Amino acid sequence: MSSPAQVFLVGTGPGDPDLLTVKAWRLLQNADVVVYDRLVSEAILEQIPAGVTRIYVGKKTGNHTLPQNEINQLLLKLAEGGHSIVRLKGGDPFVFGRGSEEALWLARHGIDFEIVPGITAASACTTYAGIPLTHRGLAQGVQIVTGHSQADVPLELDWQALADASKTIVIYMGLANIELISYRLMQAGLSANTPAAAIQNGTTAKQRRLISTLATLSDDVKQQQFTAPVIFVIGKVVNLASELDWFATEQAMGEYFADREQSQHG
């Protein structure tokens, strides 16, 4: 009798394949089928061995390759077919990744599954941008929220609780609503001069980092034409970004080598 099929809900982190856990990489090497999201980077997909079936089920605002209920049905069908399935998710499956919804679906249909944590964007992207989530004297805690709202449903957060100057605020999926979010936070009492940052494509060679303030964040993001995926960080810890800017992006390295070549031939 064959062993029961397994579905592995695997977090991949925000994009840098070096941030994959050893377990995540090992499961990829032994998968029959890999089902993956839009936010799983190409560099991570390159870790999948040749011959492994890949199924893309990515979602973005207003354009779902497969609705969530159909993704659930797909995982069930694959598992019942006796396959070993790795369900790849950007970041961590249990942090705004709908991993718990898929796990509940599998559990209620008698399918064995495992959850493999990934490094969530709130931790990885801020680190690569030189912004600590906590720092003695600057931030005593972290609040992580989603800035995404369903169509025709207003964004409802506990603005009064969120506008806490002693904590760092990290906002996922907030690009479309960042003007509203900034306004509501200031309305709730957070200073307009509170340091703020936007990080696009964090941990990858295409990472972009913008340092601003709560009052100017929305306009700056529009002017710089930031596009998803972006996370926002609001709080005093953003002031450390310039001193802790350790990550050399593709653009920064290109400028470095161009300057060095010019000086050598100048």
Q: Any idea which residues carry the catalytic annotation?
A: 37, 59
Q: Which two tokens stand for residue 77?
A: 């069908």
Pairing of strands 167-172, 141-146: parallel
Helix axes 99-108, 68-80, angle to 10 degrees: 50
Contacts of 7 (CB under 8 A, 6+ apart): 75, 78, 79, 85, 87, 106, 111, 112, 113, 114
For residue 128 the two structure tokens come to 């690569």
Q: What separation in angstroms does the CA of 205 have from each of 25, 111, 200, 215?
A: 21, 38, 11, 29
